[in-house]
Structure 1
Amino acid sequence: MSDPIGMPPLQFAQTNGIRMGFYEAGPATDRPPMILCHGWPELAFSWRHQIKALADAGIRVIAPDQRGYGATDRPEPVEAYDLEHLTADLVGLLDHLAIDKAIFVGHDWGGFVVWQMPLRHPDRVAGVVGINTPHLPRAPADPIAIMRKRFGDMMYIVQFQDPAREPDRIFGSRVEQTFDAFMRKPLPRNDPPSTEPPAGGIAASPSLNLAFPQMIAAYDPAQDKRRPILSDDEKQVFVETFSHTGFTGGINWYRNMTRNWLRSEELDHTVRVPSLMIMAENDAVLPPSAADGMEKLVPDLEKHLVRDSGHWTQQEQPEEVSAKLIEWRRRRFG
């Protein structure tokens, strides 16, 4: 794989039994640093705009390719991708860099991970920022069962439970199609946002087509009226990387949702550190309404709405996201 454009040099850390690739910028003396955690199907490269902006503002910033992605190891067992492993990976990264505490920033699946950090490793967390992904109470039942009942068997997360890994093959055989289809700004939606409680973290309208593998298999970019958010060179970074790694590592995170739910019963879900929730106005899967009531679980919470942004917020509206991260970090941590 070639070096991602606009990124600092790739470094490696031995952490929690794997080798993790990560990128670092900004002054090493800055405390607490900000750890940027990507979602699916993404990479540390998704934070390229924030890495530069934060570093230019004098903030130490670290962005890993998380377990199963990019330059980081991809263990074979599905159970190796549960939240216990994913959070412990980040603790090991802090240990490798001799960092006591950090502010953890997460988008999409990375958001679920960073909201777990103060629950599982409170002594290593100075603050948390969720981008699009809210912190929710523990689901009342298995989240896969809830999603299957609400969205049906074709909903992508339900499909991801397939032990034959058919979704992995669909995405893996159509890598450029996948990023061509996903990485675009949404068109204005006519359907109202869902008022139902989030199902396993997903707050989409039940009428939304969430059969992503089939959408990718049938995708024709010539018929797509949405505007791409990546340049050709940026898209090529994702295409080249996922052509090498495949999609199974990231999809395995979803295959642990039942396991995560079963193993979280004894956790106190209250987040007791300064927190920021950045919401995207036009995210159809994680709409701003998904964050309603978060204050009950996150007492020290601020919210910020990014208008005219779909799901890929830090890449769609990078200047606003970066500016808010810098402002909040300086105001709350000096």
Structure 2
Amino acid sequence: MESFVQHQFINGRDLQYTYYASLPTNTSIGGPTLLLLHGFPDSASVWSAVIPYLLTLGLRILVSDLLGYAGTSKPWDPSFFNSKAMANDLAEILSREDVTNVIPIGHDWGSFLAHRYYLFHPELVSGIAISAYPLNPVFRTPIDIDQLAAERERKLG
């Protein structure tokens, strides 16, 4: 990611995020920004092989080390990994970069986060792409995990 600028900042949840941004070009202004979200147990560098091609599209590209990986904070408390909070972390990165039109592209765990980003910030998303992740329905209301566990125990033993 030689042609990218590395950024680090402390977000509103007091977490350090590291991300990489391509420089805006005349062709990328006004178009969507590609937000590349890596999987487990990778980092932003997993996208290195496809970035040269993506740059030919003339779009701006942001690539983040997701929470718990590489140059981003690694909190021990599982509550930090709440999907809405993590989607909001991404929104904070996009806001810092003045991005208002994004296409999240996720691989593996990054696909889950791409889905959740769209769920919580649909007004900013103009498309979505996922790889290596099963499509699961999105629940807009909280799931009662105890009820779900009881139902699965009843059905599956």
TM value normalised by structure 2: 0.78
4+ residue runs of structure 1 moved beyond 4 angstroms?
138-142
Distance 1:76 1:141 in 2: 24
Which blocks of at least 5 consecutive residues in structure 1 are unaligned?
A: 151-334
Give the aligned CA root-mean-square deviation in angstroms.
2.9
What corresponds to 1:39 in structure 2? 39
- Identical-pair percentage: 26
What corresponds to 2:6 in structure 1? 10
What corresponds to 1:161 in structure 2? none
Deviation at 1:9, TM superposition (A): 4.0
Deviation at 1:7, TM superposition (A): 7.0
Distance 2:132 2:100 in 1: 27
Distance 1:96 1:70 in 2: 20
Change (3 A) 1:28 1:89: farther
TM value normalised by structure 1: 0.39
Change (3 A) 1:63 1:133: same
What corresponds to 1:116 in structure 2? 116
Q: 1:127-157: CA deviations, max 9, x gaps? A: 1111121331258985x955xx97xxxxxxx
Is 2:20 the partner of 1:23?
yes
Aligned length: 146
What corresponds to 1:58 in structure 2? 58
Larger Rg: 1
Q: 1:61-106: CA deviations, max 9, x gaps? A: 1110011111111223210011012111110011110111210000
Letter in structure 2 aligned against 1:13: F
Mapping of residues 187-226 of structure 1, within 5 Å: none
Greater helix content: 1
Distance 1:35 1:138 in 2: 20
Secondary structure at the counterpart of residue 88 of structure 1:
helix
Which blocks of at least 5 consecutive residues in structure 2 are unaligned?
A: none
Distance 1:7 1:45 in 2: 13
Contact 2:4/2:23 (8 A) holds in 1: no
Greater strand content: 2
Secondary structure at the counterpart of residue 113 of structure 2:
helix
Secondary structure at the counterpart of residue 75 of structure 2:
coil
